[in-house]
Structure 1
C-alpha cells in the first residue's frame, strides 16, 4: 500500500468511527434510561477529552515518531468505539466518552501532522482531499448505523463488530504510512502547546468556518421545519445534502488550491458561504433554504483542511501547529450549536443565521492569515525525509500545479 493510500484509509477510518457512534446515541440513551440533561453531559465529555488530549499530541509524536503515534492512536480510537455501548451506568458512560474524546483529538492531530509531512514530500496539496475522505467515511458508517438501528440490532453487537473491523483495517493501513524523518537538534514540543500569535491568526479563520459548519449541521433541519415549513423527511435530508456538498468540495479542494492558492480558495469559499447565509435568512420555503445550506457547506468545506495545513507549516513543528488550531476549531464546534440556539431563542432563527453570516464574513476578511511563508524548510534526515535543499513552494501564484503552502520556521 502506498503512503498516499495508507493515509487516505486512516482519514476514512477516523471519519467512520465518528459517524458510527452518532447513529447509536438514541440506543444508548434508551438502554441506560438517560434524561436529556444527563445525555447532554455525556455528549459534552468527548469535547472535554479532546481539549485535554490535543495539546499533548505533538509531544507524543515527537517522542515516538509520527508514524507510530498515528498507528497507536488510530487503533485506540477504533477500539474505544465499542465502549460507550458497553457502559453499565451513566458514570461509566462519562468515562468512556471522555476516553473517546481524548483518543479522537490526539489521533486527529497526529494524522493531520503526518499528512502534512507527506504533502511536503509529494510537493502537491492533498490535505483537502483527505478531509473529504473523512466525510465519506463518516457518511458511509452513518448509513450503516442507520440500517443497524432500523433493524433493531443491539448497539453493543453493532459497535463491537465494527470496532474490530475498523481496527483490523487500521493495522493494515498503518504499515503503509510514511517512515519518520527527524530534524537534527529539533526541540521537543511543550507538554501543553499553547498557540502563538501566527497560529491564533490562522485559528481565527478556522474558528469562523467551524462555527458556521457546526451551526448549520445541527440547526439546518430545525430551521427548515420552523421557518421554511419543511416536512420531517425533507428537513432530515438537509443534513445529508449539507454533508455531501462538503465531502464533494473537499475532494475537489486540492485541485482548487493548486490553481488559485489557499487565500483565494478561502475568500472564494467565504463569498459562497455568505451568499448561502443570505439565502437561508431570506428563505421562507424549503428549496431556497436547502440551497442556502448547501452553499454554506460548499463555502466552508475546504477551510479547516487549509487551516491545518497553514498551521502545520507555521508552527515550531507540524504537530504543535496542528494541535493549536485543532483546539481552537474544536472550541468553535462545541460552542456554535449552543450560541445559535441562544440567539434563536432570544431573537429569531433568521437573526441567528444572520449572525452566522456575519461570522463567515469575518473569515473572508481574515483569509490572508493563510498566506504561505517564504522561508526554506529546515534540513531533515532519516527514511522518507524531505531533501534539505528544497525551498518552500509558492501556492499563491495561480496556475502553479506542483505546490504546497511554504513552510515557515520558528
Structure 2
C-alpha cells in the first residue's frame, strides 16, 4: 500500500506512460498465478507459520528495493516477486482466519480485512504527511523495515493459534493448475462474483493516486487522499459488519452495497473531473465523495464471498482461498491491462468506470448469501 500511494513518482522514475506502467504492474500477476497454484498445497504440507515467515520477509525486502529501481524490466521482475510473496501471505492469512472463523463460529474474516484496511489507511495518511519532506526511498525503506519488525512480532504472538500441517484436512488431492481450475468449476458463480467484487478495490489501489494527480491536477501529497478516503470507508463497514448483519441479511448486503457503491462512484468521479477544470478543489472534493461511496459499497463483499465459498466446500480453507484467488488472478490480469490501455487511450476517469460497472454487476449474485439476518 505504501508504494501504491506513490505510484505517480514510481511511474515518473521509470519514464513510463500510463499504458506501459499499468501493463508492467499487471504482469506482476504472473507471480500471483504461480503462488495460487502451489502455495495452498505448501501451507497444507508445512503449516501456516513457515510459509507466512518466508512470505512476509520476502515481500518487505523486495518492496524496499522498488524506490531504487530505474530500469522498467528490473521493476517488472520485482513486481513478480512481490506478487509471489504477497499471495503466499494472503493465502496463509486468510486460510488461518477462515479456519478459526469456522472453529469458533464467529465472523472473523471481515474484521481481519478491516485490520488490513486500517494498515493501508495508516500508510496512506503517513504518505500524505511525509511526501512533501521525505524522498521515496527513505519513505519506503524505513517503513518496510518497521513493518517487518511488527509482522515478526505478530507472527511470534500468534504461533499457538496457527494451523499446523496436520490440523486441517487429513487427505488432500494434489493441486495443479488443471485441478484448481476443475475444482473452481464446482463454484463458478462464486468465482465470478468474487472477480467482479474485487476490481474496484484493485483499481483504487493502482489508479487513485494517478487519477487525482493527472485528472484532477492535485499535488503529489494530495494525490494520496483518494485511496485514503476509499480505504477509510472500507474500514468503517468492515468493523461494523456485525451491526450490518443485525439489520440486513447476507443476501441484502450483497445486493444493496454494490449498487450503492458503484452508482455513487459512477456519478461523482466524472462530475469531479469535469468540475475540476474550473474549480480544482471542489472537483477534488466531489471525487473524494465518489471514492468514499465506492469504499462503503465494496467493503465487505470479498470476505463475505470467501465465507460463502468455504461453507460450500469440503476442502481446507487455504485451498479454498487458492482456488478463488487463482481464477480471480487470471481474470484480473486481463481487466488490469484493459484498464491501463483505456487510461492511456482516453483518461483515467473513463478507465475507472470499468471496475465501477463490474462492482454494479456484483449485485446480481446476491442470491448466494443467506436470506436470514444474524441474531
Q: Which bin holds the TM-score, normalised by the shorter protein?
A: 0.7 to 0.9
- TM-score of the pair, normalised by structure 1: 0.72
SS at match of 1:124: coil
Q: Which stretch shows the higher mean deviation, 105-114 or 274-283?
A: 274-283
Residue equivalent to 1:359: 358
**Deviations, residues 129-155 of structure 1 (Å, cap 9, x unaligned):** 111111111222344455555223744
* 8 A contact 2:245–2:374 mirrored in 1: no
* 8 A contact 2:208–2:227 mirrored in 1: yes
**Deviations, residues 289-345 of structure 1 (Å, cap 9, x unaligned):** 432332121111111111222223334332222112223334455444543454567
CA distance in 2, matches of 1:267, 1:146: 34
**Deviations, residues 73-99 of structure 1 (Å, cap 9, x unaligned):** 334333443344566966554433322
CA distance in 1, matches of 2:107, 2:150: 27
Q: Does residue 76 in structure 1 map to residue 58 in structure 2? A: yes
SS at match of 1:82: helix
Residue equivalent to 2:233: 245
Q: Which of 138, 145, 153 is the equivalent residue of 1:169?
A: 153
Correspondence list, 1:219-258, <5 A:
219-220=207-208, 232=219, 236-257=224-245
CA distance in 2, matches of 1:54, 1:212: 21
CA distance in 1, matches of 2:23, 2:353: 29
**Deviations, residues 254-286 of structure 1 (Å, cap 9, x unaligned):** 442465343222112122124314423672542
Residue equivalent to 2:279: none
Residue equivalent to 2:374: 399
**Deviations, residues 222-249 of structure 1 (Å, cap 9, x unaligned):** 667887x675576653332122112222
Q: From the superposition, tell whether residues 28 and 295 of structure 1 become closer, same or farther in structure 2 (CA, over 3 Å).
A: closer
Residue equivalent to 2:198: 210
CA RMSD of aligned residues (A): 3.6
Q: How many corresponding residue pairs?
A: 355
- TM-score of the pair, normalised by structure 2: 0.78
Residue equivalent to 1:375: none
**Deviations, residues 171-198 of structure 1 (Å, cap 9, x unaligned):** 4244243444635642234133224224
Residue equivalent to 1:270: 258
Q: Which stretch shows the higher mean deviation, 95-104 or 77-86?
A: 77-86
Residue equivalent to 1:152: 135
Q: Does residue 35 in structure 1 map to residue 32 in structure 2? A: no
Q: From the superposition, tell whether residues 163 and 353 of structure 1 become closer, same or farther in structure 2 (CA, over 3 Å).
A: closer
* 8 A contact 2:95–2:317 mirrored in 1: yes
Residue equivalent to 1:382: none
Residue equivalent to 2:167: 182
Q: From the superposition, tell whether residues 213 and 124 of structure 1 become closer, same or farther in structure 2 (CA, over 3 Å).
A: same
Q: Which of 279, 288, 291 is the equivalent residue of 2:289?
A: 291
Residue equivalent to 1:302: 300
Correspondence list, 1:306-321, <5 A:
306-315=304-313, 316-321=315-320
**Deviations, residues 347-378 of structure 1 (Å, cap 9, x unaligned):** 77776566555433321012223x3xxxxxxx
* 8 A contact 1:312–1:319 mirrored in 2: no
Relative contact order: is structure 1 or structure 2 higher (C-alpha 8 Å, sep ≥ 6)? 2
* 8 A contact 1:54–1:105 mirrored in 2: yes
* 8 A contact 2:234–2:296 mirrored in 1: yes
SS at match of 2:173: coil
CA distance in 1, matches of 2:210, 2:73: 31
CA distance in 2, matches of 1:82, 1:216: 22
Structure holding more helix per residue: 2
CA distance in 2, matches of 1:236, 1:23: 5
* 8 A contact 1:241–1:294 mirrored in 2: yes
CA distance in 2, matches of 1:356, 1:92: 29
CA distance in 1, matches of 2:345, 2:6: 32
Structure 2, unmatched stretches of 5+, are 276-282
Residue equivalent to 1:112: 94
